[in-house]
């Protein structure tokens, strides 16, 4: 699994992110069989077995059941190569990533399924190609993500975080400070990305903001889909984009009718040509706040990388401040936090974290904190008592709820000799 240190909700807007893979993982044991039957089982009894034909994959967007994420990865490889007569497989899934924790267990399953399908079929792709296919195929289940989860899954290397850039997809090492540790803490509030409209509404608000900003600057707005494209077409800095956002958009929510008026289109055109099926009935869109978050968060990613490269004496403090700013923006501008995450962030800062923020899609899930190495043991003990023991929240085993981590490696295949 993997987590952004800064860079939340900006990959699908076209901006670079800075994740690291952490040490928890997902494993799938696979046995090719001569039938055309795909049999899936899970070591966790909460997830029932599933059987289907390998040549008739149906993914129900209305039900984000665990096996559908496997089918996304399988179907992605099948469609990429245009295969029709596929061999069957018996698969057993295991893992220690808490589900709906914001640590991308669903994306890990998509990527794992894609990699094992590729291997079983004897095909080969580069890590970049595989990441792009898995990012695209997760949309079969209705998640309009941007590709960060899948990219770090395959491009991660032990001992380093990565700056992941898109169009074209590429990764650059970012060396993290040696005197600090990153700690993941699970709020124990579950949020399933595909089961809620929050995530897809944010994707659409960013798209609408990009179109209105493009129209304001007399750009060909119909072809613009991402906020990054507006900046690229104007050839200006992120700071200048924040000023344009202040000038072009208002903080009050936009109605669909006002958006139509701004773009000079009909409500029917808005619904059929711009909005996704699951956002067509949304009554208000907050465009100013979403654009402000994206442009400021994209700037924080670049600042974080710069600090890591320059290694100033107060490096940990500076990185922590960026993480704190990121959480504030996620909470106030992107509105993807929740009371439990805010409480957990406050507790982490109180007991020694230089910076703490939500990580993942939000609305539940986990926080990531940067903690000086010499304060780690007292930090873990105090946070455990203040957040988990006092509220009886530790539903997951303790080591899955609160743990220090370091950058781990990407996806691997182990072949039985």
Is-catalytic flag, 173? no
CB atoms within 10 A of CB 44: 10
Residues 6+ apart with CB under 8 A from 165: 16, 171, 172
**At 309, which helix (H) or strand (E)?**
helix 287-310
Widest distance between CA atoms in the chain: 65
Tokens 């800095």 -> residue:
237
Tokens coding 22: 């952490």
* Rounded Cα–Cα distance for residues 68 and 129 (Å): 22
Residues 6+ apart with CB under 8 A from 282: 197, 201, 204, 256, 275
DSSP three-state, residue 287: helix
Are the CB atoms for 21 and 174 separated by under 8 Å? Answer: no
Is there a cis peptide before residue 239, judged by omega within 30 degrees of 0? no
Tokens coding 392: 């009886």
| Annotated catalytic residue within 49, 85, 149, 281 | 149
**At 169, which helix (H) or strand (E)?**
none
* Rounded Cα–Cα distance for residues 25 and 158 (Å): 13
**Catalytic annotation, residues:** 149
């Amino acid at each position: 699994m993997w987590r952004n240190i800064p860079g939340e909700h900006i990959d699908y807007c076209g901006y670079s992110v800075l994740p690291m893979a952490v040490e928890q993982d997902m494993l799938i044991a696979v046995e090719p069989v001569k039938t055309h039957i795909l049999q899936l089982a899970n070591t966790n009894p909460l997830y029932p077995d599933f059987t289907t034909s390998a040549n008739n994959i149906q993914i129900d967007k209305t039900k984000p059941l665990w096996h559908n994420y496997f089918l996304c990865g399988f179907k992605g490889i099948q469609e990429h190569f245009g295969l029709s007569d596929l061999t069957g497989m018996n698969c057993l899934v295991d893992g220690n990533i808490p589900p709906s924790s914001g640590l991308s267990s669903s994306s890990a399953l998509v990527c794992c399924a894609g990699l094992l399908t590729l291997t079983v079929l004897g095909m080969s792709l580069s890590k970049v190609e595989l990441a792009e296919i898995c990012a695209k195929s997760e949309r079969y289940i209705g998640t309009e993500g941007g590709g960060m989860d899948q990219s770090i899954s395959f491009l991660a290397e032990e001992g380093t975080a990565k700056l992941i850039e898109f169009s074209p997809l590429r990764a650059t090492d970012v060396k993290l400070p040696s005197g600090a540790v990153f700690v993941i803490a699970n709020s124990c509030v579950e949020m399933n990305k595909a089961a809620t409209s929050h995530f897809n509404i944010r994707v659409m608000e960013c798209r609408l903001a990009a179109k209105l900003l493009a129209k304001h600057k007399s750009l060909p707005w119909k072809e613009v889909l991402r906020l990054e494209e507006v900046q690229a077409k104007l050839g200006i800095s992120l700071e200048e984009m924040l000023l344009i956002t202040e000038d072009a958009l208002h903080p009050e929510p936009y109605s669909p009718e006002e958006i139509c008026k701004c773009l000079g289109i009909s409500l029917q055109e808005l619904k059929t040509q711009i909005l996704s099926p699951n956002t067509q009935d949304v009554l208000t869109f907050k465009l100013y706040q979403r654009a402000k978050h994206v442009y400021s968060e994209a700037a924080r990613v670049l600042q974080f990388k710069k600090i890591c490269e320059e290694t100033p004496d107060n490096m940990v403090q500076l990185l922590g401040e960026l993480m704190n700013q990121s959480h504030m923006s996620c909470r106030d501008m992107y509105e993807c936090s929740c009371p439990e995450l805010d409480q957990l962030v406050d507790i982490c800062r109180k007991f020694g974290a230089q910076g703490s923020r939500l990580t993942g899609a939000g609305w539940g899930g986990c926080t990531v904190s940067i903690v000086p190495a010499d304060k780690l043991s007292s930090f873990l003990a105090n946070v455990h008592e203040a957040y988990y023991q006092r509220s009886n929240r530790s539903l997951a085993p303790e080591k899955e709820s609160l743990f220090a981590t370091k950058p781990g490696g990407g996806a691997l295949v182990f072949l039985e000799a």
